[in-house]
């Protein structure tokens, strides 16, 4: 019997995702193609990992030439590619030092370890007392420690027990942060805009207030910009919207140019210097192939002004989405090209809207059942946005007509 790729994945894979029923075989720029030759505009861009667009020719050239030269060495030796990459990342972000990892979750784990060790060695918190504050509705990854600080029942259920030393405050609540800080508090970890949590934008000025509270209380502000960073929200870093330079910064996703997993934990000297040889590491972290591709990804981001592009086109896109005025949409929100379209759950699950969009050539994925995530590659054009808006308008109009029909 013939099996399709979809059936193989269903039969031999773990069911930890619920993909839309489409089998992708090729990508170029904002477009992907399925196994039947249908073309789609990718409004998902791999959870913002493909900000440069699929198979960016210059990044492919960088990848392949470096792969022929030297790919993986481990950190047991220096390479000619890592140092220049770290320097570039530090200069761009205003941080002193950077520690390379691969996935976002590893960068988060690195930050938590650094914050704890900093608390013991520099802040002089008593042994095993260090405490870290996170926000309700956060998403920082999927390791046991990280889901241990999640408020999302499904991320946690069945995976305990979890490490101690974490507490949660409501997102957007500065008074709650102040109240949660104790003399043992090492750090406050926060997403400038909550991505997986549903594209939640906090009140303007909140992050600035958090930064002031942290500075005053000698608590590290760790900005998790794995999704919001590198131009996504219309600034290189979303912290810039509030004029904040965090004590520590996490980058990932788009840092790999849509080709490789590359993440960074960046911080001040006194924080990074708590690490001594043997304290922490990663076999693949900082390998010359990843470092060279990520370095080129940063160059392209700056050269092609992708942050400014996200700001301009994001505003255009949000404006056009607001103008649709469908009874199925309760809210359009976001910043830059990180946009959430909230579907009224009385009528449709957002997944149903995603399936309908797929049938008209637009790939998007819902989050939290009601929110359509619209995070296209930052290279998307105004004309392509117009195409997407027309497709969304058509789908919402048809879907709304169905609801009236059913209720009538
Ligand atoms: C995706 C994400 C992570 C985790 O990154 P992985 O590469 O999936 O481990 C962490 N923090 C934020 C804000 C993210 O969006």
253 is catalytic: yes
Respond yes or no: is residue 365 known to be catalytic. no
Report the 10 Å Cβ neighbour count for 389: 18
Q: Are residues 243 and 182 in the same domain?
A: yes
* DSSP H or E run through 135: strand 131-135
Domain co-membership, 207 together with 339: no
Q: Shortest CA distance to 314 belongs to which of 207, 258, 391, 235?
A: 235
Q: What are the backbone angles phi and psi of residue 366, rounded to the nearest 5°? A: -80, 160
Does the pLDDT at position 34 exceed 80? yes
How remote is the CA of residue 254 from the centroid of ligand 1, in Å?
A: 11
| C-beta neighbour count of 157 within 10 angstroms | 9
Who's near 375: CB < 8 A, 6+ residues apart? 43, 44, 45, 47, 48, 232, 337, 338, 339
Q: 404 pLDDT exceeds 70?
A: no
% of the chain residues with pLDDT over 90: 97
Q: Whose CA is nearest to atom 5 of ligand 1?
A: 104
Q: Which atom of ligand 1 is nearest to the CA of 146?
A: 10
Instruction: Based on the fold, state whether residues 127 and 215 are members of the same structural domain.
Output: yes
| Boundary-marking domain end, from 303, 328, 345 | 303
Q: How far apart are CA 283 and CA 75, in angstroms?
A: 7
Whether 101 and 194 share a structural domain: yes
Ligand 1 atom with the smallest distance to the CA of 196 is 15
What is the domain-level CATH number for residue 17?
3.90.1150.10
Average pLDDT over residues 256-282: 98
Q: Is 50 exceeded by the pLDDT of residue 271? A: yes
Best residue for ligand 1 mutational test, from 16, 104, 145 (most atoms within 8 Å of Cβ): 104
- Whether residues 118 and 80 share a domain: the answer is yes
Based on the fold, state whether residues 116 and 98 are members of the same structural domain. yes
Question: DSSP letter string over 65-105?
Answer: HHHHH-----TTS--TTHHHHHHHHHHHHT-SEEEEESSHH
**Percent of the chain whose pLDDT exceeds 70:** 98
Domain that holds residue 190: 57-303
Instruction: Determine the atom of ligand 1 nearest the C-alpha atom of 250.
Output: 11
Q: 116 Cβ partners below 8 Å, 6+ apart?
A: 130, 132, 165, 186
Do 255 and 267 fall within a single domain? yes
Residue 98 CB partners (closer than 8 Å, separation 6+):
86, 89, 90, 264, 265, 266, 267, 272
Mean pLDDT of the region 119-142: 98
Q: Between the CA of residue 7 and those of 10, 39, 40, 62, 354, what are the distances in Å?
A: 5, 21, 21, 35, 21
pTM for this entry: 0.97
Tell me the CA–centroid distance for residue 386 and ligand 1, in Å. Answer: 29
Domain count of the chain? 2
82/189 same-domain check:
yes
Q: Name the pLDDT band for 407 (thresholds 50, 70, 90).
A: low
| Distant-in-sequence contacts of 322-325, Cβ < 8 A, 24+ apart | 324/389, 324/392, 324/393, 324/396
CA of 121 to the centre of ligand 1 (A): 28
Q: Verify that 45 and 65 share a domain, yes or no.
A: no
How close is the Cα of 227 to the center of ligand 1, in Å? 7
Integer Cα distance of 160 and 105 in angstroms:
18
Question: In a 3-state reduction of DSSP, which class is residue 36?
Answer: coil
- Residue 139 designated active-site: yes
**Mean pLDDT for the chain overall:** 96
Of the three residues 285, 303, 321, the one that is the final residue of a domain is 303
Give the pLDDT band (50/70/90) at residue 403.
confident
Pocket of ligand 1 (CB under 6 A): 47, 103-105, 108, 139-141, 191, 195-196, 224, 226-227, 252-253
Question: How does pLDDT run across 37-79, given as a tens digit for each residue?
Answer: 999 999 999 999 999 999 999 999 999 999 999 999 999 999 9
Same domain, 63 and 117: yes
Together in a domain, 158 and 297: yes
Active-site choice (85, 88, 139, 365): 139
pLDDT at 402: 87
What gap in Å lies between CA 216 and CA 15, rounded to an integer?
A: 46
Annotated active-site residue in 42, 85, 117, 224: 224
Non-local (6+) Cβ contacts of 282 within 8 A are 75, 100, 101, 102, 106
Q: What angle do CA 306, 307, 313 make, to 5 degrees?
A: 80
With 60 as the cut, is the pLDDT of residue 87 above it?
yes
Find the 147 Cα to ligand 1 centroid distance in Å: 12
pLDDT at 406 over 60: no
Point out the domain boundary residue: 259, 288, 303: 303
pLDDT tens, position by position, 349-398: 999 999 999 999 999 999 999 999 999 999 999 999 999 999 999 999 99
CATH number of residue 219's parent domain: 3.40.640.10
Q: What is the pLDDT of residue 408?
A: 39
In terms of domains, do 94 and 104 share one?
A: yes
């Amino acid at each position: 019997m013939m099996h399709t790729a979809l059936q193989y994945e269903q039969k031999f894979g773990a069911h930890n995702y619920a993909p839309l029923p489409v089998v992708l075989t090729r990508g170029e720029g904002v477009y992907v193609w399925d196994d039947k030759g249908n073309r789609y505009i990718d409004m998902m861009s791999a959870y913002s990992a493909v900000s440069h667009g699929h198979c960016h020719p210059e990044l492919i050239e960088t990848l392949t030439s470096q792969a022929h030269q030297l790919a993986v060495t481990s950190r047991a030796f220096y390479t000619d590619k890592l140092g220049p990459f770290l320097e570039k990342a530090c200069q761009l972000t205003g941080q002193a030092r950077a520690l390379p990892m691969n996935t976002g979750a590893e960068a988060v784990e690195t930050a938590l370890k650094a914050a704890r060790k900093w608390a013991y060695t520099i802040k002089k918190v008593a042994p095993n007392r260090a405490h870290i504050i996170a926000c309700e509705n956060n998403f920082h990854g999927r390791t046991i420690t990280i889901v241990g600080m999640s408020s999302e029942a499904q991320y946690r259920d069945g995976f305990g027990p979890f490490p101690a030393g974490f507490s949660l405050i409501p997102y957007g609540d500065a008074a709650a942060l102040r109240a949660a800080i104790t003399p043992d508090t090492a750090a406050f970890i926060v997403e400038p805009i909550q991505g997986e949590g549903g594209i939640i934008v906090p009140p303007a000025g909140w992050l600035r207030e958090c930064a002031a509270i942290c500075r005053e209380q000698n608590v590290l502000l760790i900005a998790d910009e794995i999704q919001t960073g590198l131009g996504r929200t219309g600034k290189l870093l979303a912290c810039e919207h509030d004029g904040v330079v965090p004590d520590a910064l996490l980058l990932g996703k788009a840092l790999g140019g849509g080709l490789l997993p590359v993440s960074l934990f960046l911080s001040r000297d006194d924080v990074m210097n708590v690490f001594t040889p043997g304290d922490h590491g990663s076999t693949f972290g900082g390998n010359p192939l990843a470092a060279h591709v990520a370095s080129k990804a940063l160059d392209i981001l700056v050269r092609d002004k992708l942050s400014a592009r996200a700001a301009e086109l994001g505003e255009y896109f949000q404006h056009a989405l607001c103008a649709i005025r469908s009874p199925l949409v309760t809210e359009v929100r976001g910043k830059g090209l990180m946009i959430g379209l909230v579907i009224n759950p009385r009528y449709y699950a957002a997944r149903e809207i995603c399936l309908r969009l797929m049938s008209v050539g637009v790939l998007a994925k819902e989050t939290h059942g009601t929110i359509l995530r619209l995070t296209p590659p930052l290279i998307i054009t105004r004309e392509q946005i117009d195409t997407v808006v027309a497709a969304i308008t058509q789908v919402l109009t048809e879907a709304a007509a169905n609801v009236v029909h059913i209720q009538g």
